[in-house]
Amino acid sequence: MLSASKKKFLIMNYQKLHIYTVTELTREIKGLLEENFPELWVEGEVSNLRTPSSGHIYFDLKDKESLIHIAFFKPLAVYIPFKLTDGLQVLLYGNIGLYERRGEYQIIAKRIEPKGLGALQLAFEQLKKRLEAEGLFAQEHKRPIPFLIQHLAIVTSPTGAAIRDILKVIDRRNPQMEILINPVLVQGKEAAAQIAEAIEELNKMGGFDAIILTRGGGSLEDLWSFNEEIVARSIYFSEIPIISAVGHEIDWTIADFTADLRAPTPSAAAELCSIQREEILERIENLSRQLFSHIKNRVNFLKDYLKTLSERYGLQQPKELIRQFSQRIDELLFRIENAAQHQFSRIKEKLRNLSSQLNNLSPLAILERGYSVTHSCPEKMIIKDVKKVKKGDLVMTKLWKGSLLSKVIETTDKNKEMHPRINTNEH
């Protein structure tokens, strides 16, 4: 039992002590944690992952003996390029905080990376695995590329090296091909949406035999627009066959796996799309020879088979009939050979006529008759309307032989006669 004096002493000391509320104590601890543990990196395994509708991400980061709660708030969580999953080993950057309501300390995350594998590479592998499981890469869903392409659409940057390479190859191999360029960004945050929208627009327009989706080479980050899910699905649902030619031969993107055909380079895509007239003639000639050889071999087989039958004991009596049939076969073979040769000659002559007609329709043939084509400089856009140029502009005129670089001195519309005023001081 305490005496009255001792009880009085304890009460007096008790009254002198500072008594914390729970909130005050929690905030004191919070201040100490945040002051003594600034931003830091920590590694561990993701577990108990939770993604509520708010867009925030909560999970525990653990090792063999301990765990700590992690809060990844939406403004930064939306920029995680890969999918977080339980069991994933990660490196996490953030600062220590304390959730006052439950008195629990946690890390407020600002950045997260997969351990041992780049974030973009992991995102690529995750998306590739998921889309492959859905069947987007399945061979049975791929459309054949037409043998003869007359109307081609190209989705790419209008200023990149890829489009210049493609146009150069097509101009050399098949200048009569009609080409539409749907210009898009091929790098950056808005590029994937533009690429997907361009493919959808071309499908709504219709009338194209194929689409080339292309850009030049670059790093994984540079090519990332072609690894986006929105682009993969637009390729998959396209009614027009798509050739993917993204980067160099060693570069592979999700677009390559989804497309109907993957070309190693932009120039290779152009080669696949453009077939020269000489190649067509050669293929027809080869097919004709194969057809004739097949018919001849078949007839010879039947002839030998008939001869074998005729030598059997049961057919010795009607030997004369067999000789007549044999002679008839020889006559038919001769007629088939003549008919095949005649048909081949007709086809060859028709192709020569078509080739001549194509040459007559060629822009070069028109230039040979004295016409010319004028392009703006340096854009190289064909000038069809005098309103598209103004005094002082430089223009390039393509002739049958050579080109002229000129400066516009005066313009007039087609209903007015132009009387040029030549300034000899201008160069």
- The residue ranking higher by pLDDT, 79 or 269, is 269
Q: How far apart are CA 30 and CA 41, in angstroms?
A: 19
Q: How far apart are CA 207 and CA 321, in angstroms?
A: 60
Give the confidence band of 370 by pLDDT, cuts at 50, 70, 90: confident
Give the least confident one: 197-206, 279-288, 298-307.
279-288
DSSP structure class, residue 382: B
CATH 1.10.8.60: does it fit domain 20-116? no
Nearest to 291 by CA among 341, 354, 328: 341
Mind listing the pLDDT tens digit for each residue in 33-43?
Answer: 666 667 888 88
3-state helix, strand, coil in the chain (%, to 5): 45, 20, 35
pLDDT at 427: 46
Q: State whether the Cα torsion 268-273-276-279 is positive or negative.
A: positive
Q: Is 52 helix (H, G, I), strand (E, B) or coil?
A: coil
Check whether 208 has a pLDDT greater than 60: yes
Which residue's structure tokens are 């020269």? 276
Helix (H) or strand (E) holding 229: helix 229-236
Mind listing the pLDDT tens digit for each residue in 321-364?
Answer: 677 777 788 888 888 888 888 888 888 888 888 777 777 666 76
For the chain, what are the domain ranges? 20-116, 147-273, 277-361, 367-427
Mind listing the pLDDT tens digit for each residue in 133-156?
Answer: 988 888 888 999 888 888 999 999
Q: Two tokens at 53?
A: 């509708």
Q: Which CATH number fits domain 147-273: 1.10.1370.40, 3.40.50.10550, 3.40.50.720, 1.10.10.10?
A: 3.40.50.10550
- 181 exposed, middle or buried (CB, 10 Å; 0-12, 13-18, 19+)? middle
Q: Which residues contact 236 (CB under 8 A, 6 or more apart)?
A: 136, 141, 258
Nearest to 260 by CA among 369, 146, 164: 146
pTM assigned to the model: 0.47
Q: Which residues pair with 134 in a beta bridge?
A: none
pLDDT at 213: 94
